[in-house]
Structure 1
Amino acid sequence: MNRFAVLAAACIAGPLAAVAPFAAAEPPPPPIDPAAAVPPPDNGIVASNPPAVVTTPDGWTLTVAATNESELPIAPLTTAASSREYLVGGTFTGTVTGGGSTTLSGGTLEAGYQIGCGIELGQVRLIGQAGVNVGVGFGAQGSGIGIGSVQVPLSGTIEIHPKPGTVSTVTVSKKSFKAAPVRVTIKDTHVKVDGCVGQSFLRSYATLTSSTTDTDDVVAYYGTTKSV
């Protein structure tokens, strides 16, 4: 009877084992490339925004654009933690086209950069007190009293008053022209702002002004904002 019971149990377990799916081992994860985890160094290249275009009431079309822009943050020469310095470049162009009803007399193309500072360093002062300590010494008999040392102790704390952030405009070039198109090219130019203790932001700008005898028409381009 025991042998029949064992045989019956084996017959029942056999089909169940045959039906159970085969658990395949999962493939190991691919190795992590250490170079892929490190972001590439900043080469300073930034994408330019689309050109700014305006049609004047007298029928002229003003266009100002930028290409080949670069903005690379670098260490300031002063090595001050509150200074921000950038190495910038780009080509800025302005055109005046169309068949306006007035006579053009020229204009200007101004190009530069705007630096925004999250927190500006304000007043810094020392709050404390200063005193004078005089050391008195007694000499040999009959030689009198002499002053041994003079010390000026200084104690207190430094108080800093940060101010809300500001935007500084740095004009690199302003070109006057008699007839468009007009161009300003900037290459490896340093721009710097001091007194910035927070995060800083940088963007290019270019302003085209077209003049006639009685009018001025202005269109401005602003580049991509880069944060550091």
Structure 2
Amino acid sequence: MRTAFMRVAATTAVAVLGLAGATSASAQPDPVSPVAPGVQAVADVGPPPAPDGAVASGPPGFVVTPDGWELTVSAKDEFQVAVAPLTTALSSREYLVAGTFEGAVAGAGTAPTSGGTLEVGYQIGCGISLNVVKLNGSAGFTPSINDQRRLGVAFPVSAQIEVFPQPGEVTTVQLTQKTFEGSNPRVTVKDVHIKVDGCVGESFLRSYAVLTSSTDAADDIVAYYGVTKAV
């Protein structure tokens, strides 16, 4: 009887040990594959950052002319960044810009086209314009006698600057006007400086492109305007 009891106890102890080992093994986390030094895991890699100064382009300009031509003007790869003005004046604004502007004349119009133009430039909006600065001055004559009974003369000079701020205005800077004879004109702008003077408020910048398609009897115009950027 005692021998049977010892066999049952030993069997129970083995079962308990096996259960504990299984529980301990299941509680451990799954092994992680080693990553080579200097290599980032694929799951942590996000999209590449946008270049400094990159600007999203606006929707293309599109129109169907009365004689059936389809005109489109658009932009891509735009870049705008404010830089220190060469004059170092606080009332000057200067920007470095880039972009590609494209036009397209498609469809089956009833009148043949003879080409046209693609105008590209930028519009600078200024919150407050500084148009007039006036300097007012005056001089006087003041005699005086010091402690040694000597006569002295003083010429006091005073000056006052008057500033006349004006309501904001928009300055249009045309970079080029491309004349073309085909159907797909293009203008590429790279690292071009544009500036405006007399601006003391917040300024805003946006690109524009105007496509003109010509026939013997008509001119058809469609415009593109970029996203406005506060700079």
TM-score by length of 2: 0.72
Deviations along 1:30-64, whole A, 9 cap, x unmatched? xxxxxxxxxx9981100001211100000000000
Alignment of 1:200 with 2:206, yes or no, is: no
Distance 1:42 1:159, change over 3 A: farther
What is the Cα deviation at residue 148 of structure 1?
8.7
Q: 1:79 aligns with which of 63, 88, 100?
A: 88
Q: 1:97 aligns with which of 94, 106, 112?
A: 106
How does 1:58-137 map onto structure 2 within 5 Å? 58-131=67-140
The match for 2:223 is 220
What is the Cα deviation at residue 128 of structure 1?
4.0
RMSD: 2.4
Q: 1:153 aligns with which of 152, 156, 162?
A: 156
Which amino acid in 2 is paired with 1:171? Q
How far apart, in 2, do the equivalents of 1:190 and 1:76 lie? 10
What is the Cα deviation at residue 214 of structure 1?
1.1
| Aligned 8 A contact 1:64 1:206 in 2 | yes
Alignment size in residue pairs: 180
Alignment gaps of 5+ in structure 1: 1-39, 137-146
| Aligned 8 A contact 1:42 1:72 in 2 | no
SS in 2 for 1:195: coil
How far apart, in 1, do the equivalents of 2:50 and 2:56 lie? 17
Which amino acid in 1 is paired with 2:120? A
Q: 1:52 aligns with which of 61, 66, 69?
A: 61
TM-score by length of 1: 0.73
Which amino acid in 2 is paired with 1:173? T
Which amino acid in 2 is paired with 1:208? L
Q: 1:168 aligns with which of 153, 168, 171?
A: 171
Which amino acid in 2 is paired with 1:207? V
What is the Cα deviation at residue 122 of structure 1?
2.4
